[in-house]
Amino acid sequence: MSSILQSLEEAFQNAFSDLGFSPDLGAVRESDRPDLAPFQCNGAMAAAGQAKKQGEKVNPRDIAQSVADAVKKHDAVKSIEIGGPGFINIAPTEEALSKRARDLSGSEHLGIEQVEPRTIVVDYGGANVAKPMHVGHLRSAVIGEAIKRLYRALGHKVIGDVHMGDWGLQMGHLISELESEEPDLPYFDEDKLEDFPEDSPVTMDDLARLYPQASNAAKNDEARMERSRLATAELQAGRAGYMALLHHFIDVSVAALKVGYGDLGVEFDLWNGEACVDHLIPEMIEEFRRKNIAEDDDGALIIRVEEEDETKDVPPVMLLASSGAVLYHTTDLATLVDRKNEIDPDLIIYVVDQRQALHFEQVFRAAVKAEWYKRDQLYHAGFGTMNGKDGKPFKTREGGVLRLEDLLKIMNEAAADRLEESGIGADYEASERREIARKVGLAALKFADLQNQRLTNYVFDPERFTSFEGKTGPYLLYAAVRIKSILRRAKDEDVSPGKIKISDPKEAQLLLSLDAFGRAVASSAEKYAPHILCDHIYRVAQSFSRFYSDCPILAEDIPEEVKASRLALAELTLRQLEKGLTILGIETPERM
């Protein structure tokens, strides 16, 4: 089942090919001039350019005319006209639109073309043990979740891994700080090797307090820093009490993180962290040495990854610090080994802050050098920071970071207020109102984040985030909810969806929007760019709203077959909207 655009494109490619040109020139796209026709093909100008290079002088309009003549008889073509220097404008027939609508209606995937499945790991979330989630964690979670679902929608096997930061100096900070406060805990007895208490000596709140306390103290106190370093080294050397503590820290943190990510509607298949791959490090280092990839340098063990003829400086990968400690590069590489062993993925996508681009470039090069992966199996999908109005990373008025749960609360309350204003939810149960407010608030938050191109830093403006009009998550939900309402009413009135027949221009416009779903999903995934799908869903919602105001469905004077057709079109729209929203990680309420 191919889209209208695809079937037109096929005809154009054949036409160009038959004229002796490259079939690529037959690319059809949505028109820049929708006032002229919905689709256009610009290949004639390029073809004339090609011919000119070979010494032939041809008028692009003549080529366009030949192509148009060849394509004219295609049964999806209603009109075909040549404009300007050789643009070919194409309008499809109502029959083609109607048929496409019925095809989409009957298809499980709603136009998303299923592909040869690959195994893909999406590494996102990246929360740290012992640190509460804040707005800085939002983008990775929201974008990563969308990318994961995008690839699943295409038919791939996708594994989401939270990849927690739970290894390294931060653990040394926590251990030594806890020792300062409670030196008598059994974990600090060097001779004790087993039988540590099962219950954690600390809560999440304790951890959230201990970490900044230690980190600040160490900043200005070299001796304090040395204690953290020592604790880190001993932990990594496997000291029993410290390992037991580490597992408490991780358990306590994971429980809290599961709640936090759950509130965001983000789910991971793997809750692995850096500590999980620690045991692979000695052998990995041995392999690097054996392959003559790693070398000693100034007491540290490094891998040089700069390439010849490179203008930029790429510093080496640091495998071991001169203290012998394991670093960020090391655990990331060990994670790559682990994934190779356990999953053997075709592709790994890292959804991590763009500021870490160089880090990933280094790690990827080392992994390629070791011949574990090909370069195109590893991709860093970086993203820009969420800034305040001053252009600096967002801070609260007090200057601190905004906790994620507080942000969610703000969104929730704004949505609840809006619901109350509208007066619509007055007769709903309190629990349903709460649930609606939750979904609307979360939709606003996620859509506001996802609709930006990944790499741009964007301004987080609480006022704009909590306005629910225009190009926002709630606008999309509103369109979906209106359809649900119509469907409920149609059921009451015993009207059933029937055969779709496109006749009104607004119906045609809506169908043309729906036709583009498969393309939007594919290119969104290919470019790791959820904002492309956001744009598509928004256009569908917009087309539906126009259709809604122009084309009554259940009004008395509407003929039965038109009712049935429009109802089916509305239902199809709802299915696509909900599918798209689900991919973006947005839930739709029944009413709002």
Partner RNA sequence: GUCCCCGUAGCUCAGUCGGAUAGAGCGCAGGAUUCCUAAUCCUGAGGCCACUGGUUCGAAUCCAGUCGGGGACGCCA
| Residue 28 β-bridge partners | 41
Which of 191, 194, 199, 298 is the binder for RNA (CB under 7 A)?
298
When the beta carbons of 235 and 244 are compared against RNA, the nearer one is: 235
505 binds RNA (CB under 7 A): no
- Alpha-helical (H) ranges within 76-168 are 94-105, 138-153
DSSP secondary structure of 217-257: HHHT-HHHHHHHHHHHHHHHTT-HHHHHHHHHHHHHHHHHH
Closest distance of CB 436 from RNA, Å: 6
534/188 Cα distance (integer angstroms): 52
The size of the interface with RNA (CB under 7 A), counted in residues, is 107
Residues 6+ apart with CB under 8 A from 174: 130, 207, 210, 211, 214, 245, 249
**Least distance in Å: CB of 545 to RNA?**
4
**391 contacts RNA (rule: CB under 7 A):** yes
Cβ proximity to RNA: between 89 and 158 the closer is 89
Sequence letter at residue 105: S
Minimum CB distance to RNA smaller for 9 or for 158: 9
> What minimum distance in Å lies between the beta carbon of 89 and RNA?
5
Tell me how far CA of residue 250 lies from CA of 36, 129, 201, 210, 448, in angstroms: 61, 6, 12, 15, 32
CA atoms within 13 A on the CB side of 502: 22
Range 191-210, binding RNA (CB under 7 A): none
Is residue 233 close enough to count as binding RNA by CB under 7 A? no
CB nearer RNA, residue 196 or residue 460: 460
DSSP 419-447: HHHHTGGGGS-HHHHHHHHHHHHHHHHHH
Per CB under 7 A, does 553 bind RNA? yes
Minimum CB separation of residue 288 from RNA in Å reads: 15
What are the distances in angstroms from CA 444 to CA 243, 449, 464, 475?
Answer: 42, 9, 10, 9
Indicate the angle between helix axes 222-236 and 169-181, nearest 10 degrees: 110
Candidates 36-44, 61-69, 105-113, 395-403; binding stretch for RNA (CB under 7 A): 36-44
Q: Is 54 in the site for RNA (CB under 7 A)?
A: no
Position among 103, 295, 554, 587 found at the interface with RNA (CB under 7 A):
554
Q: Write out 319-385 in H/E/C secondary structure.
A: EECCCCCECHHHHHHHHHHHHHHHCCCCEEEECCCHHHHHHHHHHHHHHHHCCCCCHHHEEECCCCC
Decide whether 265 or 393 has the Cβ nearer to RNA. Answer: 393
Q: How far is CA 204 from CA 72, 130, 212, 293, in A?
A: 69, 7, 13, 41
Window of 10-18, 105-113, 246-254, 310-318 that interacts with RNA by CB under 7 A: 310-318
CB of 148 to RNA, least distance (A): 21
Choose one: 61-69, 195-203, 385-393, 396-404; the region binding RNA (CB under 7 A): 385-393
| Residue 384 sits in the site that holds RNA (CB under 7 A) | yes
Among 182, 221, 251, 297, indicate the residue that binds RNA (CB under 7 A): 297
Q: Is 87 in the site for RNA (CB under 7 A)?
A: yes
Out of 21, 288, 373, 475, the only residue in the binding site for RNA (CB under 7 A) is 475
Pairing status of strand 458-459 against strand 386-387: parallel
Q: Shortest gap between Cβ of 157 and RNA (angstroms)? A: 27
CB of 474 to RNA, least distance (A): 4
Give the separation between CA 140 and CA 377, rounded to whole angstroms: 20
Contact 126, 352 (CB under 8 A): yes
CB-based contact 275:226 (threshold 8 Å): no
Residues 132 to 191: which contact RNA by CB under 7 A? 165, 167-170
Minimal distance, residue 182 CB to RNA, in Å: 24
Binding flag, residue 452, RNA (CB under 7 A): yes
Beta carbon nearer to RNA, 105 or 457: 457
Which of 50/105 has CB closer to RNA? 50
DSSP string, 41-53: E-HHHHHHHHHHH
CA separation for the pair 176, 181 (Å, rounded):
9
Three-state DSSP class for residue 90:
strand
Q: How far apart are the first and last CA of the chain?
A: 35
The answer to whether residue 419 forms part of the interface with RNA (CB under 7 A) is yes
Determine, following the binding rule CB under 7 A, whether residue 262 of this chain makes contact with RNA: no
Binding mask 420-439 for RNA (x = CB under 7 A): --x-xx----------x---
Spatial contact of 30 and 38, defined as CB atoms under 8 Å apart = yes
When the beta carbons of 170 and 253 are compared against RNA, the nearer one is 170
- For the segment 394-413, give every residue that binds RNA (CB under 7 A): none
Task: Select from 59, 216, 453, 582 the one that contacts RNA (CB under 7 A).
Answer: 453
Among 108, 311, 494, 559, binds RNA (CB under 7 A): 311
Q: Which of positions 358-377 make contact with RNA (CB under 7 A)?
A: 358-359
When the beta carbons of 32 and 189 are compared against RNA, the nearer one is 32
| C-beta of residue 190 within 8 angstroms of C-beta of residue 241 | yes
Q: Does 316 bind RNA (CB under 7 A)?
A: yes
3-state secondary structure of 30: strand
Residue 455, interface with RNA (CB under 7 A)?
Answer: yes
Does position 355 interact with RNA (CB under 7 A)? The reply is: yes
309 scored as a contact of RNA (CB under 7 A):
no
Q: How far is the CB of 470 from RNA (least distance, A)?
A: 2
Task: Decide: is 343 part of the binding site for RNA (CB under 7 A).
Answer: no
Q: Determine, following the binding rule CB under 7 A, whether residue 128 of this chain makes contact with RNA.
A: yes
Helices 517-526, 138-153: axis angle to 10 degrees equals: 120
SS3 state of residue 583: helix
Nearer to RNA, 216 or 453 (CB): 453
For residue 33, state whether it binds RNA (rule: CB under 7 A).
yes
The only residue of 372, 478, 517, 528 in contact with RNA, by rule CB under 7 A:
478
* Sheet with 28-30, side-by-side order of all strands: 28-30, 39-41, 87-92, 77-83
